[in-house]
Amino acid sequence: MVLFRRWFYLLAVTAALLLLSAGVSAEWWSFDFQPGQHLTYEMSWEQHGVERVGMLEIRVQDSTDGFLHIIMFGEFDEQEPFAFAAEVDPDDPDDIFFQVILNLMTEVPEEVGELIFGTVWLPWFDLPMHGDTLDADWGFYEEEEDGTVFSLSVIGQELYAGLEGTIVRIEAEADLGATMDLAINYGIPLPIMVSVFDIQEWHELGAELAGATLTVTLQDFAADVPPLAEVPAGNVMWQQARPTGVLAELLDHFEAHGLYVELTMPNNYEQLGAADGLWVEIAGDDIELFWFDRAQADEETLEALATAKATGEFHYGPADMRMRQTGVVQGDIFMSGLQFHDVYVHPYKDEIEAAFSTFAQ
């Protein structure tokens, strides 16, 4: 799913910065789902004077062996109703995030999945504001070397479904071109309102979003509803089986060097022009792997791979909106996610890089 790829970058930064900010007391825990919770949202996609609306319900109930079912169902803009259940480990926020994302990619109409992913679900990747208390004086500002500006601030409070929400504004100027308002309530594990607006031209998106406003607003919350008698089916494609090909050989190589691979999941490798790619969880944190088939890759992709080997940056995307990922290259494989500026370093960065450097295809 390519929607809000750049928000993904922004919010990864936000996560680390918020976790490092000001030593605040731990009061709000995102993704702290409890059996019996039931959230009902109104969804809206307004663009060029036309508003399309729908409803989303999220229920949480016990599954088996200590797992939970995150159940989503609803409808949007006269499309077919949708329903799925993702079985998640309640103590593993990454598992919760990716299990639901997988279902949004495969079990929900594309526009609806993009709307849910880009609003109610995406802002909590890597748990920004996890454990924080935000007061009126809290804020953050950073300007990148390329001119991109990240600005975060508390802008007020408002009631949603009778619950008080603290509203945080995230602004992404320059080439990101969008603003996000989101409201949190300390008793609820998801935002009670998210609005994404002032969206500029994002060429990499599957849907044209220039001028659109995407909003989800909580309509009702209950903490102890009875479980459903019948749980809807969900996608079971989460890869417990090993992948195949060159990347499978690399994962075996990691494990031979004492690096246990916990989970794997396909990533958006096509965006970089790669022939295969994976999200890989090692020691509780994720990295990304991209394998390039030199027999099929075009000249621009091979030049980008050579540049990444020399500089540590892989550049891709349209000429007027280039994006980059940092990482290292070994042979025809690009690996990223080990470090993000000075705010995040994978706990096994050195060990992973050392093993990667000795891998021969």
pLDDT-derived band of residue 241, with 50, 70 and 90 as boundaries? very low
Residue boundaries of the structural domains of the chain = 5-222, 246-357
Q: What is the pLDDT of residue 146?
A: 66
pLDDT-derived band of residue 118, with 50, 70 and 90 as boundaries? confident
pLDDT-derived band of residue 334, with 50, 70 and 90 as boundaries? very high
For residue 290, pLDDT over 70 is answered with yes
For residue 96, pLDDT over 80 is answered with yes
Q: What is the pLDDT of residue 205?
A: 45
Q: What is the pLDDT of residue 212?
A: 85
Q: Say which residue, 1 or 29, is predicted with more confidence.
A: 29
- The answer to whether the predicted template modeling score (pTM) of the entire model surpasses 0.85 is no
3-state secondary structure of 220: strand
For residue 248, pLDDT over 80 is answered with yes
For residue 4, pLDDT over 70 is answered with no
Q: What is the pLDDT of residue 138?
A: 61
For residue 166, pLDDT over 80 is answered with yes
Q: What is the pLDDT of residue 234?
A: 65
Query: What is the chain's mean pLDDT, rounded?
Result: 79
Percent of the chain topping pLDDT 90: 32
For residue 128, pLDDT over 80 is answered with no
Average pLDDT of the residues in 146-163: 82
Of the candidates 269, 271, 288, the residue with the CA atom closest to the CA atom of residue 279 = 288
Average pLDDT of the residues in 349-359: 95
For residue 329, pLDDT over 90 is answered with yes
Number of H helices and E strands in the chain, helices first, is 6, 18
Q: Say which residue, 301 or 179, is predicted with more confidence.
A: 301
* Token representation of residue 293: 């088939």
Average pLDDT of the residues in 184-206: 74
pLDDT-derived band of residue 8, with 50, 70 and 90 as boundaries? very low
Average pLDDT of the residues in 221-231: 87
For residue 35, pLDDT over 60 is answered with yes
Least reliable range by pLDDT among 110-124, 151-165, 341-355: 110-124
For residue 316, pLDDT over 80 is answered with yes
User: What gap in Å lies between CA 6 and CA 22, rounded to an integer?
Assistant: 26
Q: What is the torsional sign of CA 133, 134, 138, 143?
A: positive
Q: What is the pLDDT of residue 111?
A: 82
Q: What is the pLDDT of residue 27?
A: 61
Q: What is the pLDDT of residue 353?
A: 95
* Token representation of residue 214: 């995407």
Q: Tokens 């990101």 appear where?
A: 176
pLDDT-derived band of residue 94, with 50, 70 and 90 as boundaries? confident
Average pLDDT of the residues in 42-62: 93
| Sheet (strand 323-330) strand order | 261-266, 276-282, 285-291, 333-336, 323-330, 313-316
Phi-psi region of 219 (alpha: psi -120 to 50; beta: other; left: phi over 0): alpha
